[in-house]
Amino acid sequence: MNTKQLLLRNMHTFNIAVKNMSFKRTADELHLTQSAVSHRIKGLEKELGFNLFVRGTRQLSLTPEGERLYSTLSRSLSSIFNEIDSIQSSDLTGELRILTAPGFAKEWLVPRLGQFQKAFPQLNLVMKLNEEALDLATQEFDVAFYYGDYHQPNIYAMPLFEEKYLPVCSPQYAKQHRLLERGHEGLKEVNFLHSTPSTAWQRWLDSVGCDIDCLKHSYQFSQQGLAVDAAKHSVGVAIGRLRFITDAIESGELLAPFSAMETKQHYALLCVEGMQDRPKIAAFIQWVRSELEQ
């Protein structure tokens, strides 16, 4: 490290030390040892040719020279950090392009966009719906949301939450086919509602040991979520993602006659590797994290 770099580093340490008036608290904040902080301050004093602190038995105080230096240094650092904030915030304008599955957009993302707009009023959002992220490298996007096991080259993935699959239907449909009384046997006469190309129904049947052809009597929908909407209208039995159908079950709009199936996959936030540090994307990622914590 050259002389100028050492001087800047030691001045930063001095600035923190003045705010804390404790080498120990300064060491904790900078993740250093107390002796390392003391060494930096002594090095700065040697470089400058005057003492910065009066080292008392129990507390520190600034020398007159130290007070003059701190007054100038704090203004200069404030100006530098304000300029950095200004440069970074300039990237929090324009467009943020989001690629997402319709179900995730409808059930999780869109209901939260009011809060996002309040946090980033200068950032315009462009959302494109696509069922599957087949090849993110060919898509134009800043951030994507998908459910699955995404390990694509040069793609940064932040897991959000896991999911369970759960068969659901309207209370009227369950009563009509006596599903609560007959259990799995009642599935032999129902209309299976599929969201293609998902194989969730077959996987669920395998998990509970049911040898039933779920395609013999079926309606298939190319968009995730339409099968659940059809179930609400007593068209048949759909298999939904628990996180997104819990409200409908609790309100009585849907009934869950059978057990849920655990999955090993999860929802994830995705972006091109390296772009997660770009200010507007980093800000969006932090906003998503804060929403998950609520």
Question: What pLDDT is attached to residue 258?
Answer: 94
End position of a domain, from candidates 62, 89, 116: 89
- Domain hosting 261: range is 93-294
Average per-residue pLDDT in the chain?
87
**Residue 139: is its pLDDT beyond 90?**
no
End position of a domain, from candidates 89, 109, 133: 89
Q: What are the pLDDT digits (tens) for 213-238? A: 999 999 999 877 899 999 999 999 99
Contact 214, 205 (CB under 8 A): yes
Q: Are residues 130 and 274 in the same domain?
A: yes
Spell out a b/e string for 218-248, using b for 16 or more CB atoms within 10 Å of the CB, else e. Answer: beebeebbbbbebbbeebbbbbbbbbbbeeb
DSSP secondary structure, 49-106, as one string: TS--EEE-SS-EEE-HHHHHHHHHHHHHHHHHHHHHHHHHHTTSSEEEEEEE-HHHII
End position of a domain, from candidates 89, 120, 140: 89
Q: What is the mean pLDDT of residues 42-53?
A: 92
Q: Are residues 85 and 97 in the same domain?
A: no
Residue 131 pLDDT class (50, 70, 90 cuts): confident
Q: Are strands 60-62 and 53-55 parallel, antiparallel or unpaired?
A: antiparallel
Q: What pTM, to 2 d.p., does this model score?
A: 0.58
Q: Are residues 140 and 75 in the same domain?
A: no
Residue 162 pLDDT class (50, 70, 90 cuts): confident
CATH number at residue 39: 1.10.10.10
Q: Are strands 218-221 and 192-195 parallel, antiparallel or unpaired?
A: parallel
Q: Are residues 10 and 132 in the same domain?
A: no
* Three-class secondary structure of residue 198 per DSSP: coil
Question: What pLDDT is attached to residue 2?
Answer: 62
Structural domains of the chain, count: 2
Residue 6 pLDDT class (50, 70, 90 cuts): confident
Residue 209 pLDDT class (50, 70, 90 cuts): very high
Residue 91 pLDDT class (50, 70, 90 cuts): low
7 vs 227, residue with greater confidence: 227
Q: What is the mean pLDDT of residues 1-21?
A: 84
Q: Are residues 124 and 256 in the same domain?
A: yes
Query: Which of 85, 127, 49, 131 is CA-nearest to residue 283?
Result: 85
CATH number at residue 229: 3.40.190.290
Q: Are residues 124 and 258 in the same domain?
A: yes
